[in-house]
Structure 1
């Protein structure tokens, strides 16, 4: 039987950023195929043109080569070239019934993992082997859970169809949209998504989570005219000054009375030397709200600020959406089922219908919303684990005791929905 903790540790050692999950995805394919699932991957389950924030070709090539060097199956890798690292496992039951999907994210973060002796993965030797990358948000655990669930249902003793979605590039809200555009969940009747951790007590389960914020992430490039900053400054058009003007005005946007709002310019780059008027500048902007329409309005105002900031300084500019998500409204029926099944498992002790912790944004929202649009139902679960450090921290880790509990919960849900 598959050992979910050992599997999690193996994925933890091989963290890969969004759309570079070549090693991870290839292992997922191998395991699903060994369990006799129908496995779809690469361009079969992701719309290549709809992907957001895809790394440069050099980064993709380096990650592909690294996966090969670490033993990834070359034949599988070849079907994922260009960063098409999505995987879907499908298993037909012995009798007809609904299609039930579970989603698991696979990507890591650009963080150098701690080598502090008290950091559990380092002390036990399963810390990151990929320099500068780290599983600092429990996606290693999610992937392991998905595969353990796959094994539990492999005998096909159920009614309907089980669909296991292994998604790349959750961080930044990039992967789910492109999979949704490919139609991956268009045949799904019920979808369950989940997250470990959140610094909740071990044994706490939230049947739904409606706290996620809609978000849009925008990359902007400003183009000006270079000139000598001392001799002929009037001949130049300062791209960095235009970007800075935009930054200040974006952060001056008013908050909205009808909902929660967030704006942030997280990256600002530009210029080449102190004595040259900057010809190029770039920035990355993020807006969020608990209301999708407010998020859209914030983004529209950001576009106006960028346009007029560029005009003020005689610049041209380009914008590109590089990530996003929307809100989630869990279906009460599925929330109730999650909690009923959790109460049957020894180890779960605290049960809540909705989340009382804010966890930012989540692009599983695209999967859930698409299923609901087509008449199905969905929910997003929180499964608690205390944390030694926050999510996205270099000393992040989970209490591994949550992993078998979580797999038991997913199996209970799957068997009930497919009974």
Structure 2
């Protein structure tokens, strides 16, 4: 199994595919499942695979995200697995290999999900029946060194919630000598930037809101731009605070549009909910970590400001008991860094931990 997990990782790492275009990745996973005679399903209209082993009416599920990022690596824009989804696929396949010939009193469903990086791949799998009859859901993900070191395993990852805004300022251009004849979109942007600093929530609730992109002006330096586009990144540890930030931002942008005499169009994108950690699934994971690696290896929960569309599963199915397992791998410099690297020898350990967790989940009456 160790060799297989590492070989799978090398393959997926060398063949990254971006969100919704994971055709070869999907085929490779399906081919591996077919070679084991594991029942599985692919789809004509979306990438990804759903597989099952075991029997019974009750279902335990595990999800692996399969897409890569599009980013600049060594001066070239290309697909790149800098978030570790190649590792996630390999660990989940490794767990499946360990379990596929065991007598299981429940079904275990393996969801190989596309488009996590775009924040909506989970919804596509839900529409394909991924959550039908599922009581417990597990995920697995490598963690950066600042969160977990090699030999540490988290029973739960407390992801934050995220939401992104694309805005468009619509006004009139003016000559540089006649600014009174138009509206300077850059003045509007600067007002937005300043007003973002006036949005306060409780300091006990982690949150952030910041301008992340602006496009305005042209090659003519004597034209005052009346139009511009901008983007804003909004984050909070909990969903409630995120929605409060959204509402306050909309109010402020309306006030700014009146102040400057411009129209501001808003488009909210890629809402990713925060984690709702399941008590049973996280406890089962903690027990598996202790059984395999001892109490010193267990971290009950890590809190991260990052987000993951894994948590749409609990939003779409209230009452679903879910947790994402964190794997310490001495990962540096960080997730999404184009030169991200980690100790690859941890991958078979991650597969074994996931398999043990799923065994214990199946055994619960």
Say whether 1:103 aligns with 2:40: no
Aligned residue among 248, 252, 266 for 1:301: 248
TM-score between the two structures when normalised by the length of structure 1? 0.77
Aligned residue among 156, 165, 168 for 1:218: 165
CA contact (8 A) 1:197 1:387 kept: yes
Residue of structure 1 in register with 2:282 after alignment:
335
Aligned residue among 186, 198, 202 for 1:256: 202
Q: Structure 1: how far apart are the matches of 2:257 and 2:17?
A: 36
Q: Which consecutive unaligned segments of at least 5 residues does structure 1 have?
A: 43-78, 116-129
- Aligned residue pairs, count: 359
CA contact (8 A) 2:170 2:226 kept: yes
Residue of structure 2 in register with 1:31 after alignment:
32
CA contact (8 A) 1:203 1:347 kept: no
Single out whichever of 266-275 and 106-115 deviates more from structure 2.
106-115
Residue of structure 1 in register with 2:333 after alignment:
389
TM superposition shift of 1:350? 0.7
Residue of structure 2 in register with 1:8 after alignment:
9
Single out whichever of 168-177 and 333-342 deviates more from structure 2.
168-177
Say whether 1:88 aligns with 2:35: no
Q: Structure 1: how far apart are the matches of 2:102 and 2:50?
A: 13
Q: Which consecutive unaligned segments of at least 5 residues does structure 2 have?
A: none
Change (3 A) 1:286 1:350: same
Q: Structure 1: how far apart are the matches of 2:21 and 2:107?
A: 29
Q: Structure 1: how far apart are the matches of 2:98 and 2:117?
A: 28
Change (3 A) 1:253 1:350: same
Deviations 1:185-239 (A, max 9, x none): 24311101121132122221111233x2222111112222234333x43333333
Residue of structure 2 in register with 1:201 after alignment:
149
Change (3 A) 1:248 1:22: farther
TM superposition shift of 1:399? 0.6
Change (3 A) 1:237 1:366: same
Aligned residue among 99, 103, 119 for 1:173: 119
Say whether 1:415 aligns with 2:363: no
Q: Structure 1: how far apart are the matches of 2:333 and 2:155?
A: 24
Q: Structure 1: how far apart are the matches of 2:337 and 2:64?
A: 21
TM superposition shift of 1:402? 0.9
Deviations 1:218-269 (A, max 9, x none): 1112222234333x43333333432332232123322424522211111111
